[in-house]
Structure 1
Amino acid sequence: MLRFMPVGDSMTIGSAGEHTWRYRLWQHLCRSHGGPFTLVGPRETLYDKVAEAPTSYAYARPDFPRAHLAGWGEGWQHMAPLIGDAVRSCRADVLLVSLGLIDLGFYTNAEQTAENVRAFTAEARAANRRVRMVWLPVTPNVRARTDAAFAAEVARFNELLAKTAADLAEPASPILLASAPPAYDVSADTYDGTHPNASGEHKIAAAFAEAMHQGWDLGAPYTP
């Protein structure tokens, strides 16, 4: 059984009442992946905005493997120390990673964030030498529209992420850099300029699905 682990920040954990892109990708793989698979991870909840804690199970559609390693306000620097144990305990085969926005927004610059990507990769491989990874670049965000310095850091990090993927890719442990979701519009695809609404969830799921289909011939082209 192929075991996918979604890894990410608030856009991946989602909040109460949402489907999440994890669900959208699960739907797609159920239609297109020929072999047995599941989603794994040490966490399962959504973020509850009222309680301000990841305590909700109120998925819009709860009937899918809800496991993940994602956290509201967590980035590469937070996940790097956790990923080894998560990969080991959950026996993850493929990591679907969407991180970086929170790092650049609050914690680290582009170069420091890229170093945390390297630390994350080393820890994941220490747990499973054959782990595969798909990395999503930082998606458009409302802050980048008005904060030129932040926009420059995002652009710089996305360049470094591509370089790091090329530098660290190994035949036994390949890394795919997904393409940024085409035509991702912060006005149309998010509900607050950052977090995806239904169309945004589909576009993020599609980015992962297309990368795996094109890079590994896994699944099929994404159809909502």
Structure 2
Amino acid sequence: MIGENGGMRSPSRFLCVGDSMTIGRAGDHTWRYRMWQHLCATLPSGTYDIVGPRDELYDSPDPAAYADPAFPAAARRHLAGWGEGWLHMAPVIRETVAATRADVLLVSLGLIDLGFYTDSDQTAANARRFLTEARAANPHVRAVILPVIPNVRAATDAPFAAEVDRFNELLAKLVADLDAPSSPLLLASHPPSYDIHQDTYDGTHPNASGEHKLAAAFADALHQAWELGGPYNRTNRPNRPN
């Protein structure tokens, strides 16, 4: 790739950061897999890498445990953990970005924080710390951040639902406040048709249709804001090894 000053531009290095909705468990494809398919279909070979210190599912280190065991090792990399949130990722993101040389973060965090660890203000503070630490490792890092999608608990727990709504408001303000030309931030759109009764298998974790909708939220933000890749098409299939 040719950079703005005529030199060679390094490939974009994508790091998926998330909780149980991102890491997945045995039998899942994961939205990471759907994103890999999208990148394969819309970006030239050699212009991107998927990076991260982990590659396993929540309950299995065996690559055959993915719904598609052909999901290649180089594309399975991530920084996600079951039961992990902004609270857990903020202390490790600097070293992870430094070690992997990640420059595009795709982040889906917050539900576990609000559900078990921190209120909306504390969660927003941890999100700020996360972004500050990521920039300490790479001052030009870019990030696409997904708002928290209310899960089944929010349908019956009004205080929890209010905390989710308030955090999403704080997150939007945080992204607007910290966005900079040298290190742009995007708040992805809540998938408009996402339905926890149709797109999850338990009211929280995405099934196949939910995986596509989460991947589409990231892919469409990348395309619309930065002309990176193309519009998401759930029928995309990799047409080459990566």
Bin the TM-score by the shorter chain. over 0.9
Q: Which residue of 2 aligns with 1:42?
A: 53
CA–CA distance in structure 1, aligned partners of residues 80 and 155 of structure 2: 26
Residues 6 and 96, structure 1, Cα contact 8 Å, conserved in 2? yes
Q: After the TM superposition, which segments of 4 or more aligned residues of structure 1 sit over 6 Å from their partners?
A: none
8 A contact 1:13–1:71 mirrored in 2:
yes
User: Counterparts of 2:205 and 2:90 in 1: how far apart (Å)?
Assistant: 23
Q: Does 1:151 align with 2:161?
A: yes
In the alignment, is residue 208 of structure 1 matched against residue 215 of structure 2? no
SS at match of 1:158: helix
- Matching residue of 1:25: 35
Match of 1:59 in 2: 66
More deviation, 57-66/7-16: 57-66
Distance in 2 (alpha carbons) for counterparts of 1:197 and 1:185? 11
Q: Which has the larger radius of gyration?
A: 2
Three-state SS of the structure 2 residue aligned to 1:11 is helix
CA distance in 2, matches of 1:196, 1:56: 21
Shift of 1:34: 3.1
1:74 pairs, out of 64, 84, 96, with 84
Matches of residues 130-169 of structure 1 in structure 2 within 5 Å? 130-169=140-179
Once the two structures are TM-superposed, the CA of residue 56 in structure 1 deviates from its matched residue by: 4.3
CA distance in 1, matches of 2:140, 2:107: 16
Structure 1, 55-64 or 108-117: larger mean CA deviation: 55-64
TM-score (norm 2): 0.88
Which secondary structure state, in structure 2, belongs to the residue aligned with residue 46 of structure 1?
coil
Q: Which residue identity does 1:4 align to in structure 2?
A: F
**Partner letter of residue 61 of structure 1?**
D
Q: Which residue of 2 aligns with 1:51?
A: none
Cα separation, 2, equivalents of 1:34 and 1:41: 21
> Unmatched 5+ residue regions in structure 1?
49-53
Q: Give the structure-1-normalised TM-score.
A: 0.95
1:97-132 deviations in Å (ceiling 9; x for gaps): 000000000000111100001100111000001100
Does 1:127 pair with 2:143? no
Q: How far does the alpha carbon of each residue in 1:62-116 deviate from its partner, in whole angstroms, 9 at most, with x for none?
A: 4231000000000001000010010000110100000000000000011110000
CA separation in 1, counterparts of 2:218 and 2:150? Answer: 16
Tell me, in whole angstroms, the C-alpha distance in 2 between the residues paired with 1:71 and 1:47. 7
The answer (yes or no) to whether the contact 1:140–1:185 under 8 Å persists in 2 is no
SS of the equivalent of 1:39 reads strand
Q: Distance in 2 between matches of 1:124 and 1:154?
A: 24
Aligned ranges 1:173-192 → 2 under 5 Å: 173-192=183-202
User: Identity percentage over the alignment?
Assistant: 68
Q: Is the 8 A contact 1:210 1:221 kept in 2?
A: yes
Task: Read off the aligned partner of 1:143 and give its amino acid letter.
Answer: R
